[in-house]
């Protein structure tokens, strides 16, 4: 279904949900994304990603916003965001659907590491629009590194090889997430077969995450006053009822801000 006018939008927002959130800050690195998934307190803390083959995630997973599914025939949209941040250290808040995570990977190991992830859940369809991210679980060692991932793409073709990820900095803190560019021509991913680091960092563990970005919201004004973002800015970004919604922020300094506010949805 869709929303065809302002009256329907108003009704859709009334049917929607107001999802409160409150997340603590964490150490980070400039120019890296930081995940709030395993940080408290609302939504609750996500679990440490299990080892291969990992797990799929949904709205019932610890860490996810508790979403009431839309009625049959309706869609859910991001209709607004009210945000206050404790510092200017987040420039943009990314809202994403965390689909799959596979942990237990070693940041101090060279050579291919088997991932053999579970496939993406049904809500992700063919994998179109899904991306691969490196998620630092235990702090990395003193050597910077990048990752190359072997995966199955949106057409079901296995053995696709990504380009090098955004680099993990030396001693990259937990919760850092680095995007992995897919092989040119690919537009999505269904599963991950393996990952290989360019250098052993000296310590730490990480997870491979399959994520579908929903929208980004510029948050630089949210320190001065509560920032209200309406449906025009969110573009009425659509998400699935079963989505494991999470926040990421791109860090402007060496930590991310504590954030609190409300995610406003519309159903129509």
Q: What is the contact surface with another protein in residues (CB under 8 A)?
A: 2-9, 30-31, 33, 75, 77, 91-92, 94, 129, 131, 163, 166, 179, 181-187, 213, 215-218, 220, 229, 231-236, 238, 250-252, 268
Pick 151 or 205: Cβ nearer another protein: 151
For 135, the token pair is 């998620």
Pick 165 or 205: Cβ nearer another protein: 165
CB of 182 to another protein, least distance (A): 5
8 Å CB contact between 170 and 201? yes
Length of the chain: 268
CB of 123 to another protein, least distance (A): 15
CB of 257 to another protein, least distance (A): 13
Pick 109 or 220: Cβ nearer another protein: 220
Pick 89 or 117: Cβ nearer another protein: 89
Pick 118 or 195: Cβ nearer another protein: 195
CB of 254 to another protein, least distance (A): 11
CB of 104 to another protein, least distance (A): 26
Encode 129-196 in three state secondary structure. CCEEEEEEEECCCCCCECEEEEEEECCCCCCEECCCCCCECCCCCCCEEEEECCCCCCCEEEEEEEEE
CB of 181 to another protein, least distance (A): 4
Pick 236 or 244: Cβ nearer another protein: 236
Residues near 262 by beta carbon (within 8 Å), at least 6 away in sequence? 18, 19, 20, 21, 80, 81, 82
């Amino acid at each position: 279904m869709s929303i065809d006018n302002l009256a329907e939008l108003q009704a859709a927002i009334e049917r929607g949900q107001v999802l409160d959130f409150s997340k603590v800050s964490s150490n980070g690195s400039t120019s890296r994304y930081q995940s709030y998934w395993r940080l408290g307190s609302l939504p609750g803390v996500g679990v440490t990603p299990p080892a291969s083959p990992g797990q799929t995630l949904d709205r019932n997973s610890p860490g996810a916003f508790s979403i009431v599914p839309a009625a049959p025939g309706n869609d859910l949209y991001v209709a607004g965001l009210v945000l206050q941040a404790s510092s200017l250290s987040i420039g943009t808040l990314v809202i994403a659907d965390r689909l799959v995570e596979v942990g237990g990977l070693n940041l101090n190991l060279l050579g291919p590491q088997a991932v053999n992830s579970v496939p993406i859940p049904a809500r992700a369809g063919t994998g179109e629009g899904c991306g691969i991210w490196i998620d630092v679980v235990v702090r990395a060692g003193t050597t910077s590194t990048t990752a190359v991932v072997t995966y199955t793409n949106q057409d079901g073709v296995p053995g696709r090889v990504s380009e090098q990820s955004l680099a993990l900095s030396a001693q990259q803190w937990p919760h850092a997430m680095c995007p992995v560019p897919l092989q040119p021509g690919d537009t999505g991913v269904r599963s991950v077969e393996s990952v290989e680091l360019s250098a052993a960092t000296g310590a730490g563990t990480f997870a491979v995450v399959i994520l579908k970005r929903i929208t980004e919201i510029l948050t630089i004004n949210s320190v001065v006053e509560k920032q209200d973002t309406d449906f025009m800015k969110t573009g009425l970004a659509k998400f699935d009822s079963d989505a494991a919604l999470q926040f990421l922020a791109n860090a402007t300094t060496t930590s991310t801000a504590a954030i609190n506010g409300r995610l406003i949805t519309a159903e129509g």
